[in-house]
Amino acid sequence: MDECQSAIPAHDGDLHVVAAAHHIVKALGTTKNLSDDLRKILIDLDAHLSLITSNIDSKGGKGFVEVEERLKRVERKIVIWESDRIMIWDSGPKEASDYLEAVDEVQTLIDSLRGLSMNENQKQKELLHRASSLLQMAMSRLEEELIHMLVKHKQQSEPTYIPSPSSQRNVVYNESVVSLDNESAKEASSKNSCSDECGEYIVDLVPEHVIPDIKSIAKVMFASDYGQEFCEAFIGVRKEALEQHFDILENGKLSIEDLLKMEWCSLSTEMNKWTWSMKIIFGVYLMSEKRLCDQVLGEFGSVNSFCFLEIAKTTILCLLNFGEAIAMGPQEPEKLLRLLDMYETLADLVIDIDALFSEDGGSFVRLEFHKLLEGLADSVKAAFNAFGVAVSSNGSLYPFPGGGVHPLSKYVMNYISMFPEYCSTLNLLLEDQHSDVASLVSEPQCGPTASLSTSCPMACHLRSITSSLESNLHKKSKLYKDEALQHIFLMNNLHYMVQKVKGSELRPFFGDEWIRKHNAKFQQHEMNYERVTWSSVVLLLKDDNPGSSSLSKSAFKEKCKGFSIAFEEVYKNQTSWCIPDPQLREDLRISTSLKVVHAYRTFLGRNPAHVDDKCIKHTVEDVEKLLFDLFEGSPRSLRNSRRMMKT
Digit-coded pLDDT (tens) for 498-514? 999 998 999 999 999 99
Tell which phi-psi region holds residue 495, choosing left (phi > 0), alpha (psi between -120 and 50) or beta.
alpha
With bands split at pLDDT 50, 70 and 90, how would you rate the model's confidence at 249?
Answer: confident
Q: Report if residue 138 sits inside a domain.
A: yes
Question: Is 388 found in the same domain as 239?
Answer: yes
Domain span including residue 251: 208-393
Cα dihedral across residues 542, 548, 549, 555: positive or negative: negative
Question: Is 517 found in the same domain as 637?
Answer: no
Q: What is the pLDDT of residue 87?
A: 92
DSSP structure string for 99-158: HHHHHHHHHHHHHHHHHS--TT-HHHHHHHHHHHHHHHHHHHHHHHHHHHHHHHTSPPSS
Q: What is the pLDDT of residue 470?
A: 96
Q: Can you tell me the distance from the alpha carbon of 254 to that of 270, in angstroms, rounded to the nearest whole number?
A: 10
pLDDT digits (tens, 9 = 90+) for 579-633: 999 999 999 999 999 999 999 998 888 887 777 766 788 889 999 999 999 999 8
The domain that holds 608 is classified in CATH as 1.20.1280
Q: Can you tell me the distance from the alpha carbon of 567 to that of 533, in angstroms, rounded to the nearest whole number?
A: 10
| Range 409-431 burial, b when 16+ CB lie within 10 A, else e | bbbbbbbbbbbbbbbebbebbbe
Question: Is 615 found in the same domain as 517?
Answer: no
Q: Report if residue 106 sits inside a domain.
A: yes
Domain boundary among 539, 561, 577: 539
Q: Report if residue 165 sits inside a domain.
A: no
Q: Report if residue 9 sits inside a domain.
A: no
Q: Report if residue 235 sits inside a domain.
A: yes
Question: Is 523 found in the same domain as 426?
Answer: yes
> Is residue 551 over pLDDT 80?
no
Question: Is 256 found in the same domain as 370?
Answer: yes
Q: Report if residue 5 sits inside a domain.
A: no
Q: How many domains does the structure of the chain reveal? A: 4
> Is residue 239 over pLDDT 70?
yes
With bands split at pLDDT 50, 70 and 90, how would you rate the model's confidence at 537?
Answer: very high
Q: Report if residue 172 sits inside a domain.
A: no
Question: Is 549 found in the same domain as 535?
Answer: no
How much of the chain exceeds pLDDT 70, in percent?
76
Nearest CA to 304 out of 314, 316, 296 is that of 296
Q: What is the pLDDT of residue 618?
A: 85
Q: Can you tell me the distance from the alpha carbon of 236 to that of 599, in angstroms, rounded to the nearest whole number?
A: 89
How much of the chain exceeds pLDDT 90, in percent?
56
Question: Is 545 found in the same domain as 499?
Answer: no
Higher pLDDT, residue 159 or 55: 55
Question: Is 528 found in the same domain as 419?
Answer: yes
Nearest CA to 113 out of 188, 11, 213, 44 is that of 44
> Is residue 273 over pLDDT 50?
yes
Helix (H) or strand (E) holding 33: none
Domain boundary among 539, 569, 591: 539
Domain boundary among 506, 539, 572: 539
Question: Is 358 found in the same domain as 262?
Answer: yes
Surface-to-core class of residue 277, CB atoms within 10 Å of its CB (0-12 exposed, 13-18 middle, 19+ buried) = buried
Helix (H) or strand (E) holding 219: helix 211-223
Q: Can you tell me the distance from the alpha carbon of 185 to that of 171, in angstroms, rounded to the nearest whole number?
A: 9
Question: Is 426 found in the same domain as 369?
Answer: no
Q: Is 578 helix (H, G, I), strand (E, B) or coil?
A: strand
Q: Report if residue 585 sits inside a domain.
A: yes
Question: Is 551 found in the same domain as 612?
Answer: yes
User: In degrees to the nearest 10, what's the CA dihedral of 385, 389, 392, 395?
Assistant: -150
Report how far apart, in Å, the C-alpha atoms of 74 and of each of 107, 365, 438 are.
11, 47, 84
Lowest average pLDDT, out of 27-31, 74-78, 180-184, goes to 180-184
Question: Is 276 found in the same domain as 252?
Answer: yes
> Is residue 169 over pLDDT 70?
no
Beta bridge partners of 578: 632
> Is residue 319 over pLDDT 50?
yes
What angle (nearest 5°) sits at the alpha carbon of residue 393, between those of residues 389 and 395?
Answer: 150
